[in-house]
Amino acid sequence: MLQIGAHVSISDGFDSAVSTEEELGGNVGQVFVGSPRGWKVKEITESDRTDFQSSLEEVQMGPWIVHGTYLINFATPKDDLAEKSIQAVQGELDACSTLGIPYYVFHPGSHTGAGEETGVENVAERLSELDIPNNTMLLLENTAGKGTTVGKTFEQLDQMVELSTYTYDEVGICLDTCHLFSAGYDFRTEDDMDQLVSEATEVIGIENIQYLHLNDSKHPLGSEKDEHEHIGEGEIGEQGFRNFINHSGFRELPMVLETPEDSKGYAWNIKKVRSLYE
């Protein structure tokens, strides 16, 4: 069964987020547990957990995922920013665990001139300082590669895990289609798709990819620009998504949309993905 949903707001409560997802036609979902552009994590109560889990049971929906704040930078050479980032991730992981959400994802960050190798090593070092809850898996999201961001390649993502004190039992990977494409990974033909999965299998281990972000790209292959477009209406196109979501390596994974919130919206994109799923 296709597991597809969208990022939704918790402004009216976690149970309301479930209702919103259901109205959109989704059966999985993603939320923040604080402002995406701030450091403060929402205080999660047992009542939040009970209401959220009860709502999920009623509609048989999941698995959900929490997305980390955009301020997090584990690759930074600055100790103060690194410490704030570690505290933020730990707080969000703990909130995720309290809610009973099995996945948490964040962007590794930027080395800001310290070099890619140092940036990757910094991510691994900061990962090692976390206390990842037993009921939550931390996921590293691949990046488009703009500027000095790290996590553009499968090799970098793998090194972040391998150099840390954690293993793929506790840390996994979330792949974003727009980021993949902008980083130079093509999947618009079946041969290209097979090559992408083959490389992911060899470098990361396909079984360690746990979640997918579905977004088309406003910019060409290899542009390193992270600007999302509606499914099938960007440079990836319908065939690219048909190849991606139907490949045996990915078709059973949960998929969340982060497409533009304009007149089309998430409901339109969920229907589009469903129409491409075979």
Q: pLDDT by residue for the chain (278 residues), tens digit each? A: 999 999 999 999 999 999 999 999 999 999 999 999 999 999 999 999 999 999 999 999 999 999 999 999 999 999 999 999 999 999 999 999 999 999 999 999 999 999 999 999 999 999 999 999 999 999 999 999 999 999 999 999 999 999 999 999 999 999 999 999 999 999 999 999 999 999 999 999 999 999 999 999 999 999 999 999 999 999 999 999 999 999 999 999 999 999 999 989 999 999 999 999 99
| pTM to 2 decimal places | 0.97
Token pair of 143, please? 């990046």
Domain that holds residue 52: 4-276
Element (H, E) at 248: none
User: pLDDT digits over 87-138, tens only?
Assistant: 999 999 999 999 999 999 999 999 999 999 999 999 999 999 999 999 999 9
pLDDT on residue 171: 98
Which CATH number goes with the domain that contains 249?
Answer: 3.20.20.150
Domain count, the chain: 1
**What pLDDT, on the 0 to 100 scale, is given for residue 237?**
98
| Rounded Cα–Cα distance for residues 153 and 144 (Å) | 9
Would you call 82 exposed, middle or buried from its count of C-beta atoms within 10 A (0-12, 13-18, 19+)? buried
The C-alpha atoms of residue 166 and residue 178 are separated, in whole angstroms, by 27
